[in-house]
Structure 1
Amino acid sequence: MDAMGQLHAVGGVRPDGLDRAERAVSALLTAVGQDVTDERLRDTPRRVAESLLDLLTARDVPLTTFPNDDEYSGLVLVRDIPFHSLCEHHMMPFRGVAHIGYVPGARIVGLSTMPRIVEHFSRDLQLQERLTVNVADWMQAQVQPRGVGVVIEAEQLCMSLRGVGTPATRTMTSAFRGVLADAGPLRAQFEAGTS
């Protein structure tokens, strides 16, 4: 992150990294009994390595704000921001939607910034709880609003497809800062708008 609060790409790969990842995937598939010399699987190690690189490389997020000349003091809520990430425990996807609300201070945020923030932090081996806090803390630190609320609802495929095997079960996490941290009319408006 630079002095302007812009988030920059993280991760990346060393020049030999993609080759090493491809060999590691090949070794893993072989270890679980798959024949990577079979025509059907021959290119799978490369495709898996490339897809992991894509899923784990965050893109830059320019912070776009404007003066709050009209002194707007109500809630701004962006709902149903779709995202996907990889669970750091099983490297299985989790996906869902994020809702971000804030009460402006001296500046208002360009609305497309909020989906970009979610996308930036989700492109990592992640926990839903941490993702929620990352987004809320970034908004609070960089935008300096009077309050921030973040709610994330997601299906954890590590729970849906393996383990207990409960498809379509959704997990909800939340983080609130400033005037949205306590019960009151703005918090009630946020909760009504995200349910």
Structure 2
Amino acid sequence: MSTVEVVDEEGPGRVERRRNRKVLDILTATADVLAERGYHQTNLDEIAERLDLTKASLYHYFPSKDELVTACLEWVGKLVNDRLMATAQNREGTASERLTALIRVQLDSIVREHPQMAQLFLQPLDWPESYRERTKELRKEHDEAFRTVIRDGIASGEFVVEDESTAVHCLHGAMNYVPVWFRAKRKKDYETMYETTAASLLRLFRPPAP
């Protein structure tokens, strides 16, 4: 399966920028349908209808369902993973501050920016085998961003955990459940949620107070 490259929206020409915006619209709609329907129930007709496009127009951008789904997974997965890894690799601040920043990126991604991510990567879908391996790889990249900071905290003595994997699974489980219970009434509710959730989850890694 080939991967369709999404060009930076600040491209040199109007036609290129317009095409890129259309591609992003298609990928977003595809992610929505996949999250709602699963792979086998996703069809190009519904995606085209949501975008008010003809099916022929959709084929102009993506020649097949497999190419569209592949591009969608790569777009969502890499977009979030790149943000997380850039945050993890920023060595400024303590391990607690860096982990707090990672938690904020993750929550912002699954609650506000890319809520489809929780379904596409964190919940089991009816993926064909060819897609399962790639989703596993993207989940592993995602997981490694957090483990990088947690290991730094353990090495410095800032974090104390009995089992790294158990702590990481608990962390992810708590973060990924936030979209189920969180409902924002005002814009500042997001900031409050980020702060309180991060503060609570850091207790998984900090040693108990004497």
TM above 0.5: no
Between Structure 1 and Structure 2, which shows a larger proportion of strand residues?
Answer: 1
> Which structure has more helix as a fraction of its residues?
2
Greater relative CO (CA pairs within 8 A, separation 6+) = 2
Give the TM-score normalised by structure 1: 0.30
TM-score (ref. length: structure 2): 0.28
